[in-house]
Structure formats: C-alpha cells, structure tokens
Amino acid sequence: MPTVFVYGTLRCGGKNNYLLNDLQCICQQYFVEGSLFDSGYGYPIMKQNTSNRIWGELYDVSERQLAEIDQLEGYKENNADNLSERKVLPVYDDSGYQHDAFVYTAGNALNHAFDWISSGDWLVHTYLKQNNLLYFAYGSCMDDERFKKAGVDHHFAEVKGKGILEGFEFQFSRSTDDGGKADLVENKRGKVEGKVYRIPYDAIDYLYKREGVRSHSYRPAVVPVSINESIYQCLTFIGVRKSHETPPTKRYSTEIIRGGEGYLSEDYLRSLQNRIRLLGG
C-alpha cells in the first residue's frame, strides 16, 4: 500500500481532504526537508532543500486513491511539464523516526512561485488570515498572571472553555536551562486538556515571542480541538526539539495548575500534579 505525505489542501481540515476521508491518518505531525511556497492559486507547493521543514500528515492510500491524488496534483508519469513531480523522500516525526513516502514537489510549471511560507505549515498560513482565532493553551499560558504583567491580558479576556485534543499526550519534553517545559507529543491513545481563548490577530506577535517561534523552540500548529463535543480548528504550539522529560520549576508548575483550575477536569489536574511530583518538580 503506497504511503503519501500531504502538506496542503489534502490535510485534515483542507478542502481536498475528502479524498482521504475513509483513511486513518498514520501521523499528524510529520515533516519533510524543503521550503513551502504559496502558489497564489489556493494551494502550496514544495521546493526541495535541506534548509527548512515542511509539516504535514502521513497516510497509507490505495492505488486508486494514489491515482486520484496524481490527478489533483497535476502529475503524469514521464511528462516534462507537470505541475508537480511525485518522488519518494524521507519524512520524519518529532523524535526523528524516518519513514519513506511519496511527496509531491514543484514541477516545471510551478517553479516560478516565490511567496515563501516561513512556518512551513499550510494550515497555519491559511488559519492566520482569519480575523478571529481560537488558541489552545495547555501549559503556562493557561495562567493569566503573565498576560497581565506583559500588558496583553485584554487579548486573552475571552475564554471559550475547556478544550480536549485527542491523539496527543502532555509531556515536559522541552528541556531548557529553566527546567522542563510543557509540550505536545503525538500518541494515538493520548488526550490533552487545555484552555481555549478567542484571540485577535494582534495577540500573535506576543505568542510567537513568548513561545520562541523565531528561535525554533516551539512552532505554531493548527489542531482539531473538541469544545463541548464540537470540533474546532485551533492554533497551538508544539516543541521543535524534544528530549526526555525533565522536572519543571516550582514557579512554572504553579502557573500550569493555577491556570487550569476551574477549567480542566479534576482527574486531569490530578494527573498533571502526579506527573510533576514523579519528575521531582
């Protein structure tokens, strides 16, 4: 069964994801080396290099589905003027595990695109064009105190409620000089609770600075979050370089628990407290 890495409109929430609707996603957070560009026609294209990463999803598909994707991507075997070329390339998960998959790269007809997408994530690129955004906080950003100190609490005044993210687990897998930091690690049996804010676009610059996006500490991602049993696409942040879990500082632990109180379930809060205690935080 062919394996395909998708990074554009075929992703969950994308307009062409219906072609993969009857399939289970192998992994939501894989990456391939390359640079992502906006074609200007409502879809992205990839150019190969080793300088950047492109984030996407991994699927096993049938030969029929592969042919449908070929048609969508404008690929024909032995055609010199394809929109896209289909190649077998190594793709990786957050821990560095490698999997070979079909990847569609820019063909001769699309090599003119120069509108670089710095996040390497088409879902983030399109999501941030909205006026009102939903932000899923699962770590210290659930706590309002640092928002107030930074003078940005007005951006985070509207709390939509508790959000549940399936397919991930919470870990302190971002090791820093200031202790372990909260992170999302993909796990099909996992579930992470968090606090969902409705935020304006003006809040993005603060979040990018706080999360260290430009220094590649965390990266933005768009994930499906359940709020009152309805699914919403939400912006969140995932650690770029993962490590074994390390103890958080007392201050950081306090921010997480204090921020979650009144929103997260008692069972989930207890599980966080137990994790912190077992790590020695």
The span from the CA of 231 to the CA of 14, in Å, is 14
Tokens read off for 83? 């929109």
Grouping H, G, I as helix, E, B as strand and the rest as coil, residue 104 is strand
Strands lying side by side in the sheet with 35-38: 44-47, 35-38, 115-116
Q: Count the Cβ atoms, other than its own, within 10 Å of residue 280.
A: 8
Tokens read off for 200? 């304006």
The span from the CA of 52 to the CA of 32, in Å, is 9
| Strand 84-92 to 3-6 pairing | unpaired
CB 37, CB 45: distance < 8 Å: yes
Look up residue 248 and give its DSSP letter.
B
- Name the nearest CA neighbour of 96 among 215, 226, 210, 240: 240
- Name the nearest CA neighbour of 249 among 146, 179, 172: 179
245 is catalytic: no
Catalytic residue among 57, 73, 211, 255, which?
211
- Any idea which residues carry the catalytic annotation? 211
